[in-house]
């Protein structure tokens, strides 16, 4: 399913090579961290656990949000094609972005 999604990004969405690489990395990293074998069997708890691991590694919130954006796009793809009944990532709440302090 991941290979099909990445091909879709390239052919139908005309995504840049950088975007495709970021999305491929996000999918690979999620799978490596969670040991998920079948994308259709992932639960919201799998994504919460992954989010917790990323936060423990002290990754920037913007980086975490980018990874989850890739995962969300990935899950929208089979939903739109009726290959998946429910999006498990939709129940996961991400950390808010860091606020920037502007000094004058």
> Half-sphere exposure (CA, 13 Å, Cβ side) for 42?
28
Does position 3 have pLDDT exceeding 60, yes or no?
Answer: yes
In which band, very low, low, confident or very high, does the pLDDT at 104 lie, cut at 50, 70 and 90?
low
Q: Which two tokens stand for residue 78?
A: 């089979």
Contact 84, 43 (CB under 8 A): no
Q: What are phi and psi of 3, to 5 degrees?
A: -65, -40
Domain 2-90, classified CATH 1.10.150.130, yes or no? yes
- Residue 100: the pLDDT is 66
With 80 as the cut, is the pLDDT of residue 102 above it?
A: no
Name the DSSP class of 37: S
For the chain, state the CA radius of gyration.
15
As a whole number, the mean pLDDT across the chain is 89
Question: What does the alpha-carbon distance between residue 15 and residue 23 come to, in Å, rounded to a whole number?
Answer: 10
What are the extents of the domains in the chain?
2-90
């Amino acid at each position: 399913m991941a290979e099909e999604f990445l091909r879709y990004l390239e052919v139908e969405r005309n995504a840049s090579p950088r975007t495709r690489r970021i999305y491929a990395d996000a999918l690979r990293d999620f799978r490596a961290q969670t040991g998920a074998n079948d994308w259709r069997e992932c639960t919201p708890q799998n994504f919460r656990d992954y989010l917790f691991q990323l936060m423990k590694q002290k990754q920037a919130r913007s980086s975490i949000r980018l990874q989850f954006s890739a995962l969300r796009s990935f899950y929208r793809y089979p939903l739109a094609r009726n290959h998946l009944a429910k999006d498990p990532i939709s129940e996961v709440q991400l950390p808010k972005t860091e606020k920037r302090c502007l000094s004058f």
